[in-house]
């Protein structure tokens, strides 16, 4: 194994921030696709409301990102990976005025979009941790989520289906779910919350309403209006879950909560009936189950929380910060930084039938999304102004998949021999081990915390050393086959494969000097491997900027 710490500091100076370049606004007129034309009014509204706040705060917005910075960003945000070298070359060489719009549409129709947003919702519905049971539940619910994302199911319909999913609440022994729970995708959400009304009330209020209601579980909320009684009134919509053996109501639904709409507050003799968070009461005479009544109220176009909560969450996912931050903490004392922007997003989302692709398309077409991440003025320090793009850490999946793509790594034929096995004697693949080590459960991707183990895994880990070795790594092995006089082509190939851009003149000059001088080993191939390693370990590669 080569000891990379011997690399001279001059090699590190190859990493220079991507320069911003001129960029034009999205095209208008007949050349626009129907999808873009439909999104344009919301794009204009986003630009207007954000610009108004820049004026109010006397903020100088950053320049617009150049093509390379935008391309890498939108690939990661929509498709969950960096572009292939060929994709990067094609986009950078394209002179069409609408090439950004076309790229967005291509990515929204890709399998990468399905995978990325399936993982997004999987981790929200069942937050990841090292518990093997929860990891199993994540795998079990994923096919249902993938189907909904692939079909672009309207968000309100997806949530309604989740909230009203048939759930076999009777246990089969050992804490295992009943028959329906084991077979029905959405029912996995209930199993993950142990079928408990308080868990389900807390989870659904945070996910779908942006309200951290669990703070009122044991006492009145200290910093908001929610009372303990309100918490248990909301939890009562799930009162029938997990308390009886499966029953057949003759309609194929297998509902155990039908007619159950009250519970006793723990530690008291107080019984409360299900009541919505706006303090209204369901019309129980209509014969709906409590969860059906709750689903109708949550997904109603008149619900003051539902649409605002999801557009804020997606905005935060793409921009690094929510208009309300944290994204699931709408409180009296935590008002939106730009209420007009939040209202415009929510209104348009509802008017376009909760179309998630429509929402994402409009945000990534907007000017704030397409600003460079490089700070050019101190006024841009205010993240709530969205005057420059926030630098976001990659998810573990994005990190590994981008690393594998940049190195032509094929897990079905791994460069590393053998493999570790878990306590159940299952082989732990390099991807599984990498994701477990780099999993980031922080709510703030703009405040990443890298551990010593993570740093060492990249700096001297066998996996990264193998894939950047001139005699083992596929991409490097091909790049260094160029003739000595073609070292510039080798350098360009490495930059495009890793950073999705061409090197600057200064970077090229330093890289040529280092490689043609043979580096610390007096070997051009090993010097190229050193450059490769530096690029993969750079902050530019490890972050979405």
Report the pLDDT value the prediction gives residue 20, as an integer from 0 to 100: 36
Average pLDDT, the chain: 81
Distances (CA, A) of 98 to 25, 30, 108, 200: 9, 11, 16, 45
The dihedrals phi and psi of 524, each to the nearest 5 degrees, come to: -65, -40
DSSP state of 273: E
Mean pLDDT of 61-80: 98
CA 130 to chain centre: 19
Distances (CA, A) of 117 to 77, 369, 371, 397, 497: 9, 18, 23, 12, 24
Mean pLDDT of 250-260: 45
Is residue 203 within 8 Å of residue 209, measured between CB atoms? no
Mean pLDDT of 199-226: 80
pLDDT digits (tens, 9 = 90+) for 437-482: 676 544 565 565 555 455 556 555 666 666 666 555 555 555 444 4
Is residue 324 within 8 Å of residue 278, measured between CB atoms? no
Contacts 24+ apart (CB under 8 A), 476-481: 476/407, 476/528, 476/529, 476/532, 479/528, 479/532, 480/524, 480/525, 480/528, 480/529
pLDDT digits (tens, 9 = 90+) for 174-208: 344 444 444 568 999 999 999 999 999 999 999 99
Report the pLDDT value the prediction gives residue 138, as an integer from 0 to 100: 87
Report the pLDDT value the prediction gives residue 16, as an integer from 0 to 100: 33
Comparison of pLDDT for 248 and 56, the residue scoring more: 56
Q: How far apart are CA 210 and CA 316, in angstroms?
A: 13
Report the pLDDT value the prediction gives residue 133, as an integer from 0 to 100: 82
Comparison of pLDDT for 136 and 18, the residue scoring more: 136
Report the pLDDT value the prediction gives residue 217, as an integer from 0 to 100: 64
At residue 170, does pLDDT exceed 80?
A: no
**Residue 45, SS3 per DSSP:** helix
One DSSP character per residue, 290-349 reads HHHHHHHHHT-TT-TTHHHHHHHHHHHHHHSS-SSSSTT--BTTB--SSHHHHHHHHHHH
Give pTM, 2 decimals: 0.85
At residue 297, does pLDDT exceed 90?
A: yes
Report the pLDDT value the prediction gives residue 232, as an integer from 0 to 100: 92
**Residue 451, SS3 per DSSP:** coil
Distances (CA, A) of 53 to 49, 219, 295: 7, 38, 36
The dihedrals phi and psi of 207, each to the nearest 5 degrees, come to: -70, -50
Position 246 confidence tier, pLDDT thresholds 50, 70, 90: very low
Mean pLDDT of 160-181: 61
Q: How far apart are CA 296 and CA 304, in angstroms?
A: 13
At residue 146, does pLDDT exceed 60?
A: yes
**Residue 122, SS3 per DSSP:** helix
Q: Which segment, 25-34, 133-142, 416-425, 491-500, is predicted with the most confidence on average?
A: 491-500
CB-hemisphere CA count at 13 Å for 54? 17
Q: What is the dihedral of CA 349, 355, 357, 359, to 10 degrees?
A: 0
pLDDT digits (tens, 9 = 90+) for 337-385: 999 999 999 999 999 999 999 999 999 999 999 999 999 999 999 999 9
Mean pLDDT of 141-163: 97
Report the pLDDT value the prediction gives residue 216, as an integer from 0 to 100: 62
Whether the bond between 326 and the residue before it is cis, its omega within 30 degrees of 0, is yes
> End-to-end CA distance of the chain, in Å?
32
Q: How far apart are CA 347 and CA 308, in angstroms?
A: 8
The pairing of beta strand 262-264 with beta strand 271-273 = antiparallel
Report the pLDDT value the prediction gives residue 7, as an integer from 0 to 100: 37
Mean pLDDT of 157-163: 98
Helical residues (DSSP H) of 20-131, grouped into ranges = 34-57, 67-74, 85-93, 99-108, 111-125
pLDDT digits (tens, 9 = 90+) for 393-441: 888 888 888 988 888 776 654 444 445 554 445 556 777 677 666 765 4
Mean pLDDT of 251-274: 72
Mean pLDDT of 34-38: 94
| Rg, C-alpha atoms of the chain | 26
């Amino acid at each position: 194994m080569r000891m990379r710490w011997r690399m001279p500091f001059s090699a590190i100076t190859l990493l220079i921030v991507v320069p911003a370049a001129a960029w034009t606004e999205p095209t208008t007129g007949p050349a626009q696709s129907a999808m873009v034309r439909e999104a344009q009014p919301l794009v204009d509204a986003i630009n207007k409301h954000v610009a108004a706040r820049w004026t109010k705060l006397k903020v100088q917005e950053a320049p617009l990102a150049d093509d390379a910075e935008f391309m890498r960003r939108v690939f990661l945000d929509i498709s969950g990976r960096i572009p292939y070298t060929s994709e990067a070359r094609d986009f950078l060489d394209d002179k069409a005025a609408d090439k950004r719009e076309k790229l967005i549409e291509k990515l929204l129709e890709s399998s990468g979009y399905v995978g990325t947003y399936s993982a997004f919702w999987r981790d929200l519905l069942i937050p990841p941790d090292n518990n093997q049971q929860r990891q199993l539940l994540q795998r079990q619910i994923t096919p249902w989520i993938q189907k909904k994302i692939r079909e672009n199911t309207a968000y309100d319909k997806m949530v309604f289906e989740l909230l009203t999913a048939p759930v076999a609440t009777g246990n089969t022994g050992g804490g295992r779910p009943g028959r329906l729970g084991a077979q029905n995708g959405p029912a996995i959400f209930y199993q993950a919350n142990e079928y408990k009304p308080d868990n389900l009330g807390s989870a659904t209020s945070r996910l779908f309403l942006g309200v951290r209601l669990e703070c009122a579980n044991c006492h009145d909320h200290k910093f908001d209006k929610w009372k303990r009684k309100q918490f248990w009134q909301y939890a009562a919509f799930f009162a029938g879950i997990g308390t009886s053996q499966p029953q057949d109501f003759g309609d194929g639904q297998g509902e155990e909560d039908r007619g159950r709409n009250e519970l006793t507050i723990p530690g008291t003799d107080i019984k409360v009936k299900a009541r919505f968070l706006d303090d209204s009461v369901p019309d129980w005479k209509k014969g709906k189950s409590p969860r059906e009544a709750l689903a109708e109220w949550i997904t109603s176009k008149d619900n003051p929380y539902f649409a605002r909560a999801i557009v804020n969450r997606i905005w935060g996912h793409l921009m690094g910060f929510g208009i309300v931050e944290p994204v699931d903490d709408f409180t009296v004392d935590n008002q939106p930084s730009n209420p007009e922007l939040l209202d415009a997003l929510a209104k348009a989302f509802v008017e376009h039938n909760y179309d998630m692709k429509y929402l994402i398309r409009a945000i990534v077409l907007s000017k704030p999304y397409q600003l460079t991440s490089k700070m050019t003025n101190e006024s841009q320090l205010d993240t709530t102004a969205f005057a420059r793009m926030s630098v976001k850490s990659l998810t573990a999946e994005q990190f590994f998949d981008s690393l594998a793509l940049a190195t032509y790594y094929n897990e079905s034929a791994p460069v590393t021999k053998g493999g570790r096995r878990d306590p159940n004697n299952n082989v732990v693949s390099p991807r599984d081990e990498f994701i477990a080590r780099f999993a980031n459960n922080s709510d703030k991707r703009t405040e990443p915390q890298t551990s010593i183990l993570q740093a060492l895994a990249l700096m001297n880990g066998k996996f990264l050393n193998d894939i950047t070795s001139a005699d083992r790594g596929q991409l490097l092995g091909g790049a260094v086959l160029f003739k000595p006089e073609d070292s510039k082509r080798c350098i360009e190939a490495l930059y495009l494969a890793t950073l999705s851009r061409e090197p600057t003149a200064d970077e090229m000059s330093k890289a040529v000097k280092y490689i043609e001088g043979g580096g610390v080993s007096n070997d051009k191939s090993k010097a190229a491997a050193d450059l490769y390693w530096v690029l993969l370990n750079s902050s530019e590669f490890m972050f979405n900027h």
